[in-house]
Structure 1
Amino acid sequence: MYIVLLTYTAPLPEIDYELPDHAEWLARQFEHDYFLASGRRDRHLGEVIITRPMARGKLDAVLATDPLALKHLAHYEVVEFAATKTAAELRTVNEAIAR
């Protein structure tokens, strides 16, 4: 499982212009069942994405297709972790086999 910390590297007007394409990209990742949650970070610094378990190379390939990455408007920090405790709603995710 991963937490992706996305930090904007361009002025907010440039980011805002690309957000509709980024939102469509996010929607596709949820449709593919890759992402569990996403949202903006405080003070509009960037975003946080929580992913399902998958191979790191696959995650890197998915992130590389983000319009913000393609236009070099954001930096991505990926934190891998193994959840040892989860809420009942997340137990199936915790027990999921990496894809």
Structure 2
Amino acid sequence: MYIVLLTYTKPLDEIDYVLPDHLDWLNRQYEAGHFLASGRQQPRVGGVILARTMPRGKLDALLATDPFAIRHMARYDVVSFQVTMTAPELSRVNEMLAAS
């Protein structure tokens, strides 16, 4: 599994202009089953994506298609980790991870 940290490299007014395209891209990744969660960082300096286990090259290729990446508007830091424990209320996540 991966945690992807996006850090904006352009002003927020430029980010907001491209945000609808980024949200469409995120929706396509959810529909394809690649992403489990995402959201804005607080304060709003970027975003966070929780991605399913996949070959790292595939994740890098997916991230390269993000409109923010195409327009050089964000830096992506990827952390790979193996989930070994979750809270009981995340039992559905445990089932999904076991199927990955």
TM-score strictly above 0.5: yes
Query: Which deviations, in whole Å up to 9, do the C-alpha atoms of 1:45-95 show, x marking residues without a partner?
Result: 100000111110000000000000000000000000000112312112321
How many residues align? The count is 97
For residues 84 and 43 of structure 1, the distance between their equivalents in structure 2, rounded to whole angstroms, comes to 29
Residue segments in structure 1 that go unaligned for 5+ positions in a row: none
Residue 85 of structure 1 corresponds to 85
Residue 18 of structure 2 corresponds to 18
- Specify the code of the residue in structure 2 equivalent to 1:11: P
Runs of 4+, deviation exceeding 3 Å = none
Q: TM-score by structure 2 length?
A: 0.93
- Provide the aligned C-alpha RMSD in A: 0.8
For residues 48 and 93 of structure 1, the distance between their equivalents in structure 2, rounded to whole angstroms, comes to 20
SS at match of 2:83: coil
User: Percent same amino acid among aligned pairs?
Assistant: 58
Residue segments in structure 2 that go unaligned for 5+ positions in a row: none
Q: TM-score by structure 1 length?
A: 0.94
Listed as ranges, the matches of 1:1-99 within 5 Å are: 1-86=1-86, 87-97=90-100
For residues 22 and 91 of structure 1, the distance between their equivalents in structure 2, rounded to whole angstroms, comes to 28
SS at match of 1:33: coil
